[in-house]
Amino acid sequence: MKNNANNYSLLNLDERDSAAKLFVGESLQLSGCEVSFNRLAAGEAAPFVHAHKKNEELYIITAGSGLFYLDGEEIAIRSGSLIRVAPAASRAWKAGDNGMEFICIQTEAGSLHQATRQDGIICDAEQPSWAK
Amino acid sequence: MKNNANNYSLLNLDERDSAAKLFVGESLQLSGCEVSFNRLAAGEAAPFVHAHKKNEELYIITAGSGLFYLDGEEIAIRSGSLIRVAPAASRAWKAGDNGMEFICIQTEAGSLHQATRQDGIICDAEQPSWAK
């Protein structure tokens, strides 16, 4: 872990190879989201159905495939599937025959007020070494 | 794109294969973050250095390697690197010899007030088909 005066944090994941679920919010000092990296064996399922009080979740399936339960409906998902889940929706999941990996991003619903061009500032006075 | 009464949205990425940068916030109706999927060719660099007004960013390097510029410092990154960048930090990046792919998550700094166990609700009355 590297940290430069709180302007950034860097974490190089290797330990992920053995972790079934790894939360990185605390170690990275994230203040706008909590993020977890998840790895399920073939046929492995979430231990319970859950919902949220205030937080929206985005699931990014990064490997394998499976099923996602949403408010009583079940949909097929696979590497490349992105699922936004509103706080009140009940959710669970199960990995398919080749297991499944996903990243889950948790944010407070309605908390983003501007992004990208509205929020970005071009720093004309600065250049990285490769642009000089 | 599938959408069920706004309780969830599903997007299955295939078009990503040809997109250098794909924002998914609008299509998924994300309200807590903006997320982009980024693919750089070997040696390709961000077109400018930028900072943000209010938003924190989390970069998740998902393939390849490269360099990340942060407030005048340059650090080596590779698949598995996670970089939190505070709004005011100036940032840019360059892909290495094998290109680089990353996910960028943009949230409002300080907007997450509770997460995971504090925010989650177990839904005991519901069971997916595989638990019945």
SS3 A17: helix
CA-based radius of gyration for chain A: 18
Q: Does the residue A101 lie in any domain?
A: yes
User: Cβ contacts of residue B46 below 8 Å, gap of 6+?
Assistant: B91, B92, B93, B94
Give me the domain span that covers residue B52. 33-82+89-110
ipTM of the complex: 0.95
A21-23 and A8-12 strand pairing: unpaired
- Contact between chains at A128 and B34 (C-beta distance less than 8 A): no
Q: Does the residue B93 lie in any domain?
A: yes
Task: State the amino acid at position B82 in one-letter form.
Answer: L
- Contact between chains at B111 and A32 (C-beta distance less than 8 A): yes
Segment A119-127 mean pLDDT: 95
Size (chain A), residues: 132
Q: pLDDT tens, A72-109?
A: 999 999 999 999 999 999 999 999 999 999 999 999 99
C-alpha distances in Å from residue A38, one per residue of A71, A102, B3, B10, B80? 22, 5, 24, 19, 13
Residue B58 pLDDT: 98
Q: Does the residue B37 lie in any domain?
A: yes
CATH number at residue B49: 2.60.120.10
Chain B hits for A128, Cβ within 8 Å: 45, 49, 67, 69, 74, 92, 94
Domain count, chain B: 1
pLDDT-flagged residues of chain B (< 70): 1-5, 15-17
Q: pLDDT tens, A24-78?
A: 999 999 999 999 999 999 999 999 999 999 999 999 999 999 999 999 999 999 9
Q: Does the residue A60 lie in any domain?
A: yes
Residue A3 pLDDT: 58
Q: What share of chain B is helix, strand, coil (3-state, %, to 5)?
A: 10, 55, 40
Chain A hits for B119, Cβ within 8 Å: 52-55, 106
Residue B6 pLDDT: 76
Is it the case that residue A117 has pLDDT exceeding 80? yes
- Contact between chains at A106 and B126 (C-beta distance less than 8 A): no
Residue of A nearest to B34 (CA): A115
Beta strands in chain B (DSSP E): 2-4, 8-12, 21-23, 34-40, 50-52, 55-70, 73-78, 81-85, 91-108, 120-122
Q: Does the residue B1 lie in any domain?
A: no
Q: Does the residue A46 lie in any domain?
A: yes
Residue B16 pLDDT: 61
* pTM of the predicted structure, to 2 decimals: 0.95
Q: Does the residue B132 lie in any domain?
A: no
Please name the member of B55, B74, B78 whose beta carbon is closest to the beta carbon of A128.
B74
